[in-house]
Amino acid sequence: MSYTTKKISEKITLLADETDGAVYLIKGRDMSLVFDTGWDSRPLKPMADSLLKTPYKVIFSHGHVDHVGRSGEFDAVYMDKNDMGIYRSNPARKMPHLTFISEDKILPVENVIDLGDRVIDVVPCYGHTPGSILLVDRREKAVFTGDAIGSGCGVWLQCTGALKVSRYRENLKNCLEQLKELGVDESWNFYGGHLGQEKMSKVSDYNRPDINLMSDMQQLCGLVMDKKVEFTPADVMEFDEGKPYYASHGKAEMFFVLKKI
């Protein structure tokens, strides 16, 4: 059985893995990109080879196991090097149905990637992990966000290795400045790392990430730091950092632990 494929546009194809994780194929004239490799039990590379007509580069949005779990099929992968520790310490590295690329084949991601007909900008958005990045496709008016701002029901900062809320706020500020310089506005489409989560939001029936959610997220960080927003104990995966709490502001939702505000 094959991955579920959805053609978003002529240039962008989504592959959904069996956990509703998203792998994006971004097609250029001379070069294409595979953004994340999911953690499906079925091979990914044959799908990429058949759907992409050009050479391609594989890029990780960040180092978490559910985004890198088929990477061993590829010869090289690009990632922000700040996530090497996250990649190395993935607790699921030994899951037998997954395959991981060796660390010496993980190369530092460039700031700008030339696809021939257009460039893709790489914008840091550190917080969920120390090396989470976004890809910006100006021609397609698309931003690929991995888990950096969540996929519609909140960003996870309660996980092992996530940055403090205060540092996330600073990084979001810089990230938002870069996005605005690149022309990103509320008409652009944002594509997260997990599918169907827009319907799991607590703030609205369908909470699709966009530039406004990012602005609200920056404000939410400040409200959490100043304790000017309600903290609710959260029924969400707990890691070794402490009990998770939830807070929201506008479109933004966040899970965090008290010792890392």
The span from the CA of 151 to the CA of 195, in Å, is 7
Nearer to Zn ion, 92 or 180 (CB): 92
Strand order across the beta sheet in which 56-59 lies: 4-7, 12-16, 22-26, 32-35, 56-59, 77-79, 106-108
Best CA proximity match to 185, nearest among 147, 141, 251: 141
3-state secondary structure of 174: helix
Contacts for 24 with CB less than 8 Å, ≥ 6 apart: 12, 13, 14, 15, 33, 34, 35, 36, 144, 191
For residues 96-155, which are near Zn ion according to CB under 5 A?
147
Work out how close the CB of 160 gets to Zn ion at its nearest, in angstroms, rounded to a whole number.
11
**What separation, in Å, do the N-terminal and C-terminal C-alpha atoms of the chain show?**
44
**R_g (Cα) of the chain, nearest Å:** 17
Structure tokens, 168: 């996330």
As measured in angstroms, the least distance from the Cβ of 53 to Zn ion is: 30
Can you read off the two tokens belonging to residue 261? 């505000």
Q: Compute the least distance from the CB of residue 62 to Zn ion, in Å.
A: 6
Cβ distance to Zn ion smaller for residue 121 or 147? 147
Answer yes or no whether residue 64 interacts with Zn ion by CB under 5 A.
yes
Interacting span for Zn ion (CB under 5 A) from 28-36, 56-64, 215-223, 224-232: 56-64
Phi then psi for 132, rounded to 5 degrees?
-70, 135
Smallest gap from Cβ 186 to Zn ion, in A, equals 25
Name the residue nearer to Zn ion (CB basis): 90 or 215.
90
Q: Closest approach of Cβ 114 to Zn ion, in Å?
A: 27
Smallest gap from Cβ 4 to Zn ion, in A, equals 21
Binding-site size, Zn ion (CB under 5 A): 2
In angstroms, the Cα distances linking 86 to 41, 48, 103, 168, 180 are 21, 25, 12, 17, 29
Whichever of 85 and 116 has its CB closer to Zn ion, that residue is 85
Window 147-176: contact mask with Zn ion (x via CB under 5 A): x-----------------------------
Q: Which is nearer to Zn ion, 147 or 253 (CB)?
A: 147
- Nearer to Zn ion by Cβ, of 28 and 152: the residue is 152
Footprint on this chain of Zn ion (rule: CB under 5 A): 64, 147
